[in-house]
Amino acid sequence: MAIKITRRTGWLFNMGAKLNIKINGEVVGKLADNSSINIDISTPEVQLQVSQFGGLRSNKLPIFDGDIVTITASPFSSFSFLAIILLMLISGSLSETHWTRYLATIALLGYGISHFMIPGYHYRLSKRHL
């Protein structure tokens, strides 16, 4: 019994750092960006989750023998990060208005904290059966 896991998180999300693959809460392997791995499972159904840096976690997904799992970056996470960076760049050109810079800083802090508190905010697991 085996499953195939493919990582397609893109250039924006820690492509240099490997993801920890957890099956039923235990790390069973690591996965680099734009790569795939086949993992043998001992039971017909397992819980799969990936994590990075100890706190960034994906959603948990029940996986069955023969499933093909794809790891992607959450669209909301991608767009919100780029919007915050854009807001910070624009706020530097606005004269006499420091509130936009403060707002961008608070948004960036909230963005960072949400990664560690909300599973699935940064990475998404999706599956299809072979």
State the Cα torsion 107-61-29-121 to the nearest 10°: 0
State the Cα torsion 69-71-75-81 to the nearest 10°: 170
Q: What's the domain range around 64?
A: 2-129
Q: How many domains does the structure of the chain reveal? A: 1
Per-residue pLDDT of the chain (130 residues; tens, 9 = 90+): 788 988 887 766 555 678 888 989 888 989 888 889 898 888 888 998 888 776 677 888 898 888 899 988 877 766 776 777 777 777 666 666 667 677 777 877 877 777 666 665 677 788 887 6
